[in-house]
Amino acid sequence: MSTTKFLLPEDRIPTTWYNVVSDLPKPLPPMLHPVTREPVTEADLGPLFPPELIEQEFSTRTDVDIPGAVLDVYRQWRPAPLVRARRLERALDTPARIYFKYEGVSPAGSHKPNTAVPQAYYNKKAGVERLTTETGAGQWGSSLALACSYFGLVCEVYMVKVSYQQKPYRRALMETFGATVNASPSELTASGRAALAADPNATGSLGLAISEAAEAAINSGGKAKYALGSVLNHVLMHQTIIGQEAVLQMELAEDYPDVVIGAAGGGSNFGGLALPFLREQLRGGRSVRAIAVEPSSCPSLTQGTYEYDFGDTAGLTPLAKMHSLGHDFVPPSIHAGGLRYHGMSPIVSALKDLDYLEARAVPQTACFEAGVTFARNEGIVPAPESTHAVRVAIDEALACRESGESKSILFTLSGHGHFDMQAYLDYFAGKLED
């Protein structure tokens, strides 16, 4: 009858991040320099990231200590709850057991602060004064703004102009946390000025905002560095706090997932949940089905090719071997802004290539339908990105109803939809296109 939370005591919060790279059956293909096409070195990344994050990016150590100052911040909202969705199970009339790990309890409302906080911390420690970043819908920008406010760093966000204009409340959240938000393209960088010279009415793109943010860091004389919210190895590693907690909470629930599910844009949310469960399997132990869910309008894992590609549109970043739709692919403007990325993290891509995980692409209308079902039964309005995981979790539970199997299904509810209610209004009004 009741929804059951599995709360981990604060003193059982994991104190290390899990680095899956150490358990991969073969080494991860290195990133390549955009000009020389040689493997990227730690020195190459110096202008962008502080030393300890670069070290983590290349690290093959299995367990990396979480600094005490980062744990202190994590403890503001972590351990995040793991909830048995009993009302949803009943509504679906399924024998399946459905669990969700809820990351919307963070002050920014998503899983993104799990990496924003250590990134801000290591930059502060390295004497950096300012962090630059890009943001589309604003989930990442608001998380980095929050993290910077904790550590006394200046935060400078380049927000895709069309979002800047259409999502004033996300911008207001960043500003409330003390960040400076610039509409991109801006007059502040050469890339921005070039774009405006070409088209004074340009509404921007994530690729261009990345260029502006990186340029601002590189030209800061060492005072500023750049921060990225997904894709990279160190980002996925920081997010394993999600799955490590979930492993312990499933023990509290005296259960183990048959399937773990997460929405995948750059891959850090999905990886954050799935990697600590896949660890067992990578070591020859208990196996689990891991399903990465992507929008059918931006299907990098299901339709992309596994090859070297640039991380940004302009081809300024290193190349990574990843499932990609091509760095010039422009996804349609679906509401799940966090899933509109042409590529996929190298770690998730490699695991897909090695058949350690499944990928599924779903259209957005079916996702919002699942999101509303979830909200009416569990009381939480999912972010548009998170509805993708909800959709597949519900589909798996309905399959159990057909087959009569009582599977254990676990998904990440990566964030709440409080800043995305226009998407729900559009869904109710029948305005969404698939």
The nearest distance, CB 88 to a second copy, in angstroms, is 12
Contacts to a second copy by CB under 8 A: 1-5, 7, 10, 69, 72-73, 75-76, 83, 87, 105, 107-109, 146, 149-150, 168-169, 172-173, 175-178, 372, 375-381, 418-419, 421-422, 424-425, 428
The nearest distance, CB 50 to a second copy, in angstroms, is 21
Structure tokens at 141: 């920008």
The nearest distance, CB 422 to a second copy, in angstroms, is 7
The nearest distance, CB 213 to a second copy, in angstroms, is 22
115, 112, 116, 103: which is closest to 77 by C-alpha?
103
The nearest distance, CB 282 to a second copy, in angstroms, is 34
Dihedral class, residue 67 (left if φ above 0, else alpha if ψ from -120 to 50, else beta): beta
415, 421, 375: which is closest to 108 by C-alpha?
415
Q: Is residue 379 exposed (0-12), middle (13-18) or buried (19+ Cβ within 10 Å)? A: exposed
Residue type, 152: G
The nearest distance, CB 381 to a second copy, in angstroms, is 5
Q: Which is nearer to a second copy, 92 or 210 (CB)?
A: 92
CA–CA separation, 14 and 354 (whole Å): 28
Name 160's bridge partners: 184
Q: Which is nearer to a second copy, 76 or 303 (CB)?
A: 76
Q: Give the CB-side neighbour count of residue 227, counting CA atoms within 13 A.
A: 35
The nearest distance, CB 173 to a second copy, in angstroms, is 6
Q: Which is nearer to a second copy, 167 or 342 (CB)?
A: 167
Q: Give the CB-side neighbour count of residue 103, counting CA atoms within 13 A.
A: 31
Q: Which is nearer to a second copy, 290 or 383 (CB)?
A: 383
The per-residue DSSP string of 273-327 comes to: HHHHHHHHHHTTS---EEEEEEETTS-HHHHSEEEEEESSSSS-SPEEEEEES-T
The nearest distance, CB 421 to a second copy, in angstroms, is 4
Q: Which is nearer to a second copy, 175 or 280 (CB)?
A: 175
Q: Which helix (H) or strand (E) holds 35?
A: none
Name 290's bridge partners: 260
Q: Which is nearer to a second copy, 347 or 383 (CB)?
A: 383
The nearest distance, CB 365 to a second copy, in angstroms, is 15
Q: Which is nearer to a second copy, 428 or 434 (CB)?
A: 428
CA–CA separation, 322 and 409 (whole Å): 27
The nearest distance, CB 139 to a second copy, in angstroms, is 13
Residue type, 266: G
Q: Which is nearer to a second copy, 83 or 208 (CB)?
A: 83
Rg of the chain on CA atoms, in Å? 20
CA–CA separation, 279 and 235 (whole Å): 17
Q: Which is nearer to a second copy, 143 or 189 (CB)?
A: 143
CA–CA separation, 363 and 177 (whole Å): 34
Q: Which is nearer to a second copy, 49 or 102 (CB)?
A: 102
Give yes or no for a cis peptide into 346 (omega within 30° of 0): no
